[in-house]
C-alpha cells in the first residue's frame, strides 16, 4: 500500500495558519500594533483604507530590526520573545505567536521598512503570498513600518466573507481602543481613508479615556484603587446613573493586556447590584496587575481569554474594591466655583429662625361691591360691574352633567372577515376582549378563542409600520419645542452617522452632529421625548452587536429595535378599546403568526380542545 501521509508545503501551511491568526483586518491590526509596543515604540501610527481590505499600515519608532532579523521575522515560529519553553508561562511582552507575520505574508502583499538605531541604513522587504519579491538596502528612519495590502488576495472565498467597510472599520476601531487604553504612555495616531480619526498624545490613564470617549466622560468616572499581595487593582468605574443599555465601555486589562472575563464581569455586576436600573450595564476601565506566573494567556488563539490561578480571591477583591469606590464617590463634597453668589443665604440670616409661610385671606372682600375710583379717574363715582343673581349661574350643574359614558361608541377599524384563511377564522368582535395577567389578550373566534401575546403582537404591528415608513419615506414627525442635545463617544457618533438617513425616514429630525454629541429637533409620533436617549442607546447597542452591512439590513434592524423599544410591555394594563385596536392591527399585518424576532404571537384554542379537557 502506498504512503498517504505527506508534509504540506510551507506556503500551504502558512495559509492554514492564517485561518487561525487572521480572521479579519482587525486581527492584522492587533498583531502589528502589539509588535510595535513590544519593540519599545513611544509613537505609533495606524493607517487604514477601505476597512483594512486595501491597506493596513503600522509605523512605529521602536528598536527596528537588522537585515537578517527582518528576513527571519517572516519565518514560522521565529521570535525574539521566547528563549525556552518556560518563558511561555512568564510573559512580560504581548506574548508569542509564531505564525503571525508568516501568516499575514501568506495571504497579503506585505512591505516592511525597518532600521535599528545603530545602523546607518535600513532594510526593505517585499513579500507576496509567502514569496519574497525583493530585499534591498534603503534609507529609512529608526523603527519599523509594516504595510499590508490587498488582504486575502489569493483566497477569494475568505475575502468574500468579509463584511462591509464600515463594519470592518468598527472592528479595527475596537482593537485600537483596547490597545491605546492599555498603553496610555504611548502616543497613537489613527487615520482612516486619509482622514484623521484619533490623535492621542502620551498621557495618564484618565486623560486617555477622555480623549477616546469624549470630554463628557470625565464627569462620569470614579477612581478605583487597591493593592494586595495577590493583585493590584487600579482604574475607573462609571457612576451608576450613567449605566447604559449597551455593554460598550467595559474594559479589563491584565498586565497591560485587554482581556475578556465573564467571571470577573459578574463581580462588577454584583458590586453595582441595587444601584443601577435593571437591564442596564455599568461602564468600567480596570487594570489588574498580577504575577505573570499566576496567569495563563495562551488558552485562546486571540489571547483575550485568560486563566487566573486564584480566580475566587480575585473575584472577591474586585467586588469589594468596586463597592468601596461606589460608597466613597458621593461622600466628598464638590466645590463649584461657578456658582452664583446671589443665590447664597446672606450671613445676616444665618442664625435667624425660619418662619412658617402664612396665607392671608380677606373674608370680607366682595369683587362685586362698589369701590373707590382708581387714581386718574376724576369724573364721577366708579363701581365694578355688578351682576344680579350671580349665585344662580352655577345652580343645576351638578345634576346636568351626565357622568355615565356607557352610551358612548368608539369607531374601530373595519375587520376583514378573511383574515384567517383555511383553518384560520376571523376574530368575532361581537364579544369583548379580555386581558389575562397583563400579558395576554384573549378574544373569541368562530371555532374557539385566540390567546395573543400583547408585547409580541405590538412589536409586529410597529415593525411593519416602521419598515413601511422607511421604504416610502413618508413618516410623520413631531417637532420638539426645545431641541435635545445628547452626548456620545466618537465611535457611537460614527454609528449614528451611518444610520442617520434611515432614522430620518422613520421620523427623527437631526440638527448639528458633532464628534461629541447630536442635536435632535424632532422625533416620530410614537416616541416620547423622555425615551429618545434610551432609544438611541438601544440602537447603538444593537448595531454594535449585530453590525449589519447593507442598507436593507440597517433598515430591518432599525425597525426591529424601534418596535422592541416602543412596544407594549408585559405588565402594562390595556383598556378594552386598546385591546380591540391591537387585535385589529395585528390581523391587518402581512405576517400575523410571528413577531419580528421569529417568536409565536398567538395560539388558537378550539372548542374541541376545550371539550377534551372535560372528558
pLDDT in tens, 434-472: 888 889 999 988 888 899 999 999 999 999 988 888 877
The whole-angstrom separation of Cα 598 and Cα 582 is 19
Confidence of residue 267 (pLDDT cuts 50, 70, 90): very high
Residue whose C-alpha is closest to residue 244's, from 539, 530, 483? 539
Tell me, what's the pLDDT at 136?
Answer: 92
Q: Which residues pair with 307 in a beta bridge?
A: 296
- In this prediction, residue 162 carries a pLDDT of 86
Question: What dihedral do alpha carbons 306, 311, 315, 321 form, nearest 10°?
Answer: -80
**Structural domains of the chain sorted by starting position, each given as residue range(s) with its CATH number in brackets:** 10-200 (3.30.565.10), 205-327 (3.30.230.10), 434-604 (3.30.1370.100)
Q: Are strands 440-445 and 448-453 parallel, antiparallel or unpaired?
A: antiparallel
Distance in angstroms (rounded) separating the CA atoms of residues 63 and 396: 97
Q: Which among 75-84, 392-401, 409-418 has the top mean pLDDT?
A: 75-84
Among 480, 489, 479, 483, which residue's Cα sits nearest to residue 516? 489
The reported pLDDT for the residue numbered 115 is 93
pLDDT of residue 559 exceeding 70: yes
* Predicted confidence (pLDDT) at residue 492 exceeds the cutoff of 60: yes
Of all residues in the chain, what percent carry a pLDDT higher than 70?
78
Give the pLDDT confidence of 158-207 residue by residue, as tens digits: 888 888 888 899 899 999 999 999 999 999 999 999 888 899 999 999 99
Separation CA 508–CA 462 (nearest Å): 16
List of residues 6+ apart from 578 with CB closer than 8 A: none
Contact partners, residue 173, CB within 8 Å, separation at least 6: 190, 197, 491, 494
pLDDT at 303: 65
Whole-number Å distance between alpha carbons of 599 and 597: 6
Supply 19's cell numbers. Answer: 485561518
Average pLDDT value for the chain? 81
The predicted pLDDT at position 301 comes to 61
Q: Rounded to whole angstroms, how far apart are CA atoms 138 and 126?
A: 13
C-alpha cell at 435: 386581558
Lowest-confidence pick of 345-354, 367-376, 523-532: 367-376
Q: How far apart are CA 441 and CA 436, in angstroms?
A: 6
Assign 575 a pLDDT band (cuts: 50, 70, 90).
confident
Bridge pairing between strands 517-524 and 477-487: antiparallel
Residue 353: predicted pLDDT: 75
* pLDDT at residue 202 in the model: 94
C-alpha cell at 70: 527582518
User: Stretch 109-129: mean pLDDT, rounded?
Assistant: 92
**In angstroms, rounded to a whole number, what is the distance separating the alpha carbons of residues 459 and 447?**
26
Taking a C-beta distance cutoff of 8 angstroms, is the pair 191, 197 a contact?
Answer: yes
pLDDT in tens, 137-146: 999 999 999 9
| Site of grid cell 513579500 | 127
Q: Are residues 584 and 413 in contact, defined by beta-carbon separation less than 8 angstroms?
A: yes
Q: What is the CA radius of gyration of the chain?
A: 34
pLDDT above 70 (res 532): yes
pLDDT band at 423 (very low <50, low <70, confident <90, very high): very low
Highest mean pLDDT among 19-23, 55-59, 244-248: 55-59
Amino acid at each position: 500500500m502506498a504512503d498517504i501521509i505527506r508534509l504540506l508545503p510551507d506556503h500551504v501551511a502558512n495559509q492554514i495558519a492564517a485561518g487561525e491568526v487572521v480572521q479579519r483586518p482587525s486581527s492584522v491590526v492587533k498583531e502589528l500594533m502589539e509588535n510595535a509596543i513590544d519593540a519599545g515604540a513611544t509613537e505609533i501610527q495606524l493607517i487604514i483604507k477601505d476597512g483594512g481590505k486595501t491597506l493596513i499600515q503600522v509605523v512605529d519608532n521602536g528598536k527596528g530590526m537588522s537585515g537578517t532579523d527582518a528576513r527571519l521575522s517572516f519565518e514560522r515560529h521565529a521570535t525574539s520573545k521566547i528563549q525556552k519553553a518556560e518563558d511561555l508561562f512568564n510573559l512580560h511582552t504581548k506574548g508569542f505567536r509564531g505564525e503571525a507575520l508568516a501568516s499575514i505574508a501568506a495571504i497579503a502583499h506585505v512591505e516592511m521598512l525597518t532600521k535599528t538605531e545603530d545602523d546607518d541604513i535600513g532594510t526593505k522587504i517585499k513579500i507576496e503570498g509567502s514569496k519574497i519579491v525583493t530585499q534591498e538596502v534603503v534609507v529609512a528612519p529608526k523603527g519599523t513600518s509594516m504595510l499590508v495590502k490587498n488582504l486575502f488576495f489569493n483566497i477569494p472565498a475568505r475575502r468574500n466573507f468579509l463584511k462591509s467597510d464600515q463594519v470592518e472599520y468598527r472592528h479595527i476601531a475596537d482593537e485600537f481602543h483596547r490597545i491605546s487604553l492599555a498603553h496610555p504612555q504611548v502616543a497613537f495616531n489613527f487615520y482612516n481613508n486619509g482622514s484623521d480619526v484619533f490623535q492621542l498624545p502620551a498621557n495618564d490613564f484618565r486623560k486617555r479615556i477622555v480623549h477616546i470617549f469624549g470630554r463628557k466622560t470625565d464627569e462620569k468616572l470614579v477612581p478605583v484603587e487597591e493593592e494586595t499581595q495577590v493583585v493590584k487593582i487600579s482604574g475607573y468605574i462609571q457612576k451608576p446613573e450613567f449605566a447604559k443599555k449597551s455593554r460598550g465601555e467595559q474594559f479589563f486589562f491584565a498586565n497591560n493586556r485587554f482581556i475578556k472575563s465573564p467571571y470577573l464581569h459578574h463581580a462588577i455586576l454584583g458590586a453595582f447590584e441595587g444601584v443601577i436600573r435593571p437591564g442596564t450595564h455599568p461602564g468600567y476601565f480596570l487594570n489588574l496587575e498580577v504575577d505573570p506566573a499566576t496567569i495563563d494567556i495562551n488558552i485562546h488563539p486571540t489571547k483575550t481569554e485568560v486563566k487566573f490561578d486564584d480566580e475566587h480571591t480575585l473575584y472577591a477583591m474586585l467586588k469589594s474594591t468596586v463597592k468601596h469606590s461606589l460608597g466613597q464617590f458621593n461622600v466628598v463634597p464638590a466645590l463649584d466655583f461657578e456658582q452664583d453668589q446671589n443665590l447664597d443665604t446672606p450671613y445676616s440670616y444665618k442664625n435667624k429662625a425660619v418662619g412658617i409661610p402664612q396665607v392671608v385671606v380677606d373674608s370680607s372682600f366682595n369683587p362685586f361691591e362698589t369701590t373707590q375710583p382708581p387714581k386718574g379717574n376724576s369724573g364721577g363715582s366708579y363701581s365694578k360691574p355688578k351682576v344680579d343673581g350671580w349665585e344662580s349661574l352655577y345652580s343645576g350643574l351638578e345634576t346636568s352633567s351626565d357622568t355615565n359614558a356607557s352610551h358612548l361608541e368608539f369607531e374601530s377599524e373595519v375587520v376583514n372577515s378573511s383574515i384567517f384563511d383555511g383553518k384560520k377564522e376571523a376574530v368575532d368582535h361581537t364579544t369583548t376582549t379580555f386581558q389575562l395577567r397583563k400579558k395576554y389578550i384573549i378574544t373569541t373566534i368562530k371555532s374557539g378563542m385566540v390567546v395573543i401575546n400583547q408585547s409580541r403582537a405590538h412589536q409586529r404591528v410597529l415593525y411593519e409600520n416602521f419598515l413601511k415608513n422607511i421604504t416610502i419615506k413618508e413618516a410623520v414627525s413631531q417637532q420638539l419645542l426645545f431641541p435635545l442635545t445628547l452626548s456620545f463617544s466618537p465611535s457611537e457618533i460614527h454609528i449614528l452617522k451611518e444610520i442617520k438617513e434611515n432614522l430620518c425616514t422613520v421620523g427623527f429630525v437631526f440638527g448639528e452632529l458633532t464628534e461629541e454629541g447630536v442635536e435632535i429637533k424632532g422625533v416620530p409620533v410614537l416616541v416620547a421625548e423622555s425615551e429618545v436617549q434610551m432609544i438611541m442607546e438601544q440602537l447603538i447597542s444593537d448595531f454594535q452587536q449585530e453590525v449589519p452591512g447593507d442598507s436593507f439590513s440597517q433598515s430591518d434592524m432599525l425597525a426591529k429595535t424601534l418596535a422592541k423599544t416602543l412596544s407594549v410591555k408585559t405588565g402594562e394594563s390595556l383598556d378594552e378599546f386598546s385591546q380591540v385596536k391591537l387585535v385589529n392591527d395585528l390581523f391587518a399585518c402581512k405576517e400575523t403568526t410571528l413577531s419580528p424576532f421569529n417568536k409565536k404571537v398567538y395560539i388558537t384554542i378550539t372548542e374541541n380542545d376545550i371539550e377534551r379537557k372535560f372528558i
